[in-house]
Homo-oligomer: A and B are copies of this chain.
Amino acid sequence: MPDVRPHAKLTHEGALKILHAALAKAQEIRVPQCIAVTDDGGHLLAFVQMDGARRLSQRSAIRKAQTAASNQAPTGGIPAELEVKLALATGGAVVNLKGGLPIVVDGQLVGAIGVGSGTQDQDVEVARAGIAALSAATPV
């Protein structure tokens, strides 16, 4: 087995492209949102809090992205009997709200987007629109 393996990294240009596409969708559906894009390690690459968004959704938007990056899967699918256990075990880092999606390019996780302040379905719609702006990204 090799000591290092090739991997793709999301650039800040890519992160901002996703951010602005998500923002455009949020404006189109008239839902003020907090939108966060992280790298595959969960570190914040780009963020915007729209006028009128819930301020406390800043935290949940970032945590949704971090959870999606960590799980390499959309957020919100943790079985009910596990959600509190996992949240407690990770100091609240793992959230179980919809609105976090992994960003996958050529089968590699390069980051995640987390959206919060709308309904969970609105959050997902905005997150999807963000990822759709990255032509190489796998739709989620």
Q: Chain A: residues with CB nearer than 8 A to chain B?
A: 1-17, 23, 39, 41-52, 54-60, 63-64, 66-67, 69-72, 82-97, 105, 110, 116, 134-136
Q: Which of B50, B89, B134 contacts A97 (CB 8 A)?
A: B89
Task: Report whether B41 and A41 are in contact in the complex, using a CB–CB cutoff of 8 Å.
Answer: yes
Q: A4 to chain B: which residues have CB within 8 Å?
A: 8-11, 14, 105, 110, 136
Task: Report the separation of the CA atoms of residues A93 and B43 in the bound assembly, to the nearest whole angstrom.
Answer: 15
Is the CB–CB distance between A3 and B92 below 8 Å?
no
Q: A2-B14, A4-B14 are in contact. Are A89 and B89 (CB under 8 A)?
A: no
Most buried by B among A4, A46, A69: A4
Chain B residues closer than 8 Å to A87, beta-carbon distance: 88
Nearest CB on B from A15, distance (A): 7
Given A4-B105, A6-B9, 8 new contacts (CB under 8 A): A1-B11, A3-B136, A41-B43, A47-B48, A54-B70, A56-B71, A88-B92, A89-B116
Nearest-Cβ distance from residue A98 to partner chain B, whole angstroms: 10
A7–B14 Cα gap in the complex (Å)? Answer: 15
Asked whether, in the complex, the Cβ of A56 is within 8 Å of the Cβ of B41, the reply is: no
Given the interface contacts A56-B67, A58-B44, does A6 sit within 8 Å of B3 by beta carbon? Answer: no
